[in-house]
Structure formats: C-alpha cells, structure tokens
Amino acid sequence: MSAVPNIMDATHAPDTQSWVESANAPDTDFPIQNLPFGRFRHNVLEPWQIGVAIGDRVLDLHATGLIDHNDMHRLMAAPVAQRRALRMAIWEGLCEGSALQKVWADALLRQTEVELGLPCEVGDYTDFYTGIHHATTVGKLFRPDNPLLPNYQWVPIGYHGRASSIGASGQQFHRPKGQTLKPGATVPDFGPSARLDYELEIAAWVGMGNALGAPVSIADAEEHIFGLTLLNDWSARDVQAWEYQPLGPFLAKNFATTVSPWLVTMEALAPFRAPFVRDAADPQPLPYLESAANRAQGALDVQLEVWLQTPAMRAASEGGVRLSQSNMRDAYWTLAQLVAHHTVNGCNLRAGDLLGTGTLSGPAPEQGGSLLELTQGGKQPITLPNGEVRTFLQDGDTVILRGACEAAGARRIGFGDCRGTVLAAR
C-alpha cells in the first residue's frame, strides 16, 4: 500500500484555527482539519458546483480560483499528489490570519442556504458484506449451527447495486412493494414491504480509475479511493427473504440508497488509521489481499451511530433517539482489500464509482447496524423512550446515520448527517 494518502502534514495539526469562526467550535464535524468535498447549488435551475465544508459554511471552490471547472469526477480522478496539493492550498487559505481571508470571504455560503446533493454522479455501485458481526448475527437467524457460509472468511463478498436510486441526505422514498412468502404459505403475496429496514454502512468513492484488464494491486489500492461518506442501504427484509436465492438481492435493495453529502478525503483520515487484525484461528488473506502496510494501518477508526426520529418525535420537536453505536474498525476486510479484489479479475473502476462496506455492526447485541439484528428478526420489539414500539420501520420514520473520528493528538472530524425518511407506499 502506498503511504502517500496517509502522510501526516501541517493540515492535520490539531491546534490550527480558521478565520471561519464556526469551524473552531469543538463539536463541529467540519473543522479546518477535515475539509471534505461535495456539490451544492442555489436552486434546481443552477448546475452543481464544487464546494468544501468548513464549519457551518460551504466554500465555493471555483470562486477561490483554485479550480477552473466544476467537474467532480475530474477532481476526484487527479493523482494523489495533486489532491494533497489542493488540500494544502485550501487549508492555507482558510487558516486564521491568512491573507486570502478578504478575497475568499465572498466565496463562503451558509450550508443552510444551499442545496447539498450527491458528491458526484454515481457510475457503478457495488455493495460488500464486510461486517462479520452483522453476517454472523443474521446468519444465526437462518442457520443457527452454521451462520457464516464457507466462503465468507476467504473472499470479500459483494453484489452489484442500483446506482440510479442513490440519493443524498434528506432523501425521501416510498415504501417498496414486492413479492413475499408468508410463513407456512406456498404461494407468494404481492404488496408493500412489512419489514422495511436500514443498514449502517460506509461508502468508499473511487477517484483514479484503472484500465480494463489491469488489476489494482493492494499496494496501490488506496490511491484509487478519493474519500468516504456514510451510506444507508435500505432493505425490504420480507422481499429479500423470498427473492435472494440463487442470485442475491434485487428489488429488496434497489429502491433507495442514501449517502451523506460530504466526501471526507483519505488524506483527512490519516490520523485515524488502525492496524488490520485477523484472528489467528481464521483463514489468513490470500497473497493478493495481503501486505505488511495493510496489516499495519489498513483499518480506520470511525465511530458510527444510528438515530431514529418517529413522526411523533418530530411533532414534539424531538431530535430522535440513538438506537446503536459501532465502529468501522470491526470490518472484516479493509478498503484496500475491497479495491484489490474488485479489480483482480480485470474489472475497471471509474471515478465516481461507489463501494459500500456492508452493514457495520459491533460485537455486542446492542451494536447491531440494522433492526433485523436489534430485534432478532422482529421477535424482540424495541420500546422507544416515548413508549412507541418498533420491530421494523413505519411510514414517516426518519433514520439518521452519524460518524466521527477521534484520536489522541488529533482534531475530531465528522461526516455530517445521512438522513432518510420513509413515505407510505404508492
């Protein structure tokens, strides 16, 4: 693995302050040490523009003169050295005391005054299954004596998702319909899903692509990842149970996927690296998925949370209740391994492709990244603080994913909310 995306430099200094006052607040997701990229516009008639989040503001990157275009794919596909140089230039311009303060002040917009969209147009979407605690818990619901299938610990499992239904935070979607087979029935029903669920995931966004037929080695894999967002892989569990054999998810997954709007770059995540640890009793990765650098720092320490806001909570002006916490460190495969495996057969990735991690649950029962786990398949309903009960999502429910990184000697950075709301079936 190349060390280039993981280099610590002045942009990570925890004491650096910005002339944008809101970026200095201790609870902001977007201090000057973060500088995530995204797209914004003032109204639906305007084209999308590239911005950088700083505190509660958006810096119009084109207006600063640092780029001469608003093509996010082009920006993401740049070599790592160029990406680092751009990050440094943005950081220098936003530092407290910068001579560019007066020049850039007019390029700052309030995030609440603009529409935030997808970080870029998504070309292809692959969803993996790296959460071993999720895979084990769900497997036990169906195969108590053999929860993990034989290939799970050998190969990063994934399926091709639907790019067209991916939306940015704030996405609203109608409850999906499909075929389901009720217990004891021999003929399926058709209608709205009664077991609608969320899945807590991270999305890795491809920057530099690779040529068709040219695998990306694990040593170079992370140079092909531009950054990360949160991802909610909404799932119709009853539809999924009936349709997933033999080819995997289809209508149960393709109706909606929600991502947070700000791409937290791999450069910003450098202080939050962690060793990739595989239990000695488990199969060790095959050579194409193995490297000393990946072992040393292939994992990422990202703290994750799921919140639920019901219609009753919204009517009472309540922000919601936290359902679970987990950490990306518990993923069974690293991002570098996902890229190396995805391309080992010659598959070509392109700028803007999205790789989902799969549900990132923790080892404890209360750390499930889905209602399927937290309610044991609906058998153990959750009672919320206001007395409401949930086994699966109801119409009007809003799910909010949150993520943040904290480490000694580093400034806390966050991902911003990933929010989605269930509407009634059409």
117-136 as b/e: b if 16+ CB within 10 A:
bbbbebebbbbbbbbbbbbb
Contact 227, 37 (CB under 8 A): yes
CA distance 406 to 302: 8
Number of continuous H segments (helices) and E segments (strands) in the chain: 10, 27
* Rg of the chain in Å (alpha carbons): 21
Task: Quote helix, strand, coil % in the chain, to nearest 5.
Answer: 25, 25, 50
| Marked catalytic residue, from 134, 224, 341, 342 | 134
**Nearest-CA neighbor of 352 among 79, 123, 82, 166?**
123
- Quote the tokens at residue 54: 């700083």
Angle subtended at Cα 19 by Cα 230 and Cα 15, rounded to the nearest 5 degrees: 70
Asked if 392 and 378 touch (Cβ cutoff 8 Å), the reply is: yes
Q: Is there a catalytic annotation at residue 224?
A: no
Kindly provide the b/e burial profile for residues 173-205, where b requires at least 16 CB atoms within 10 angstroms of the residue's own CB.
Answer: bebbbbebeeeeeeeeeeebbbbbbbbbbbbbb
How far is Cα 405 from Cα 301, in angstroms, rounded to an integer? 6
Supply the DSSP string of 392-420, one letter for each residue: S--TT-EEEEEEEE--TTS--EE---EEE
Active-site residue list: 134
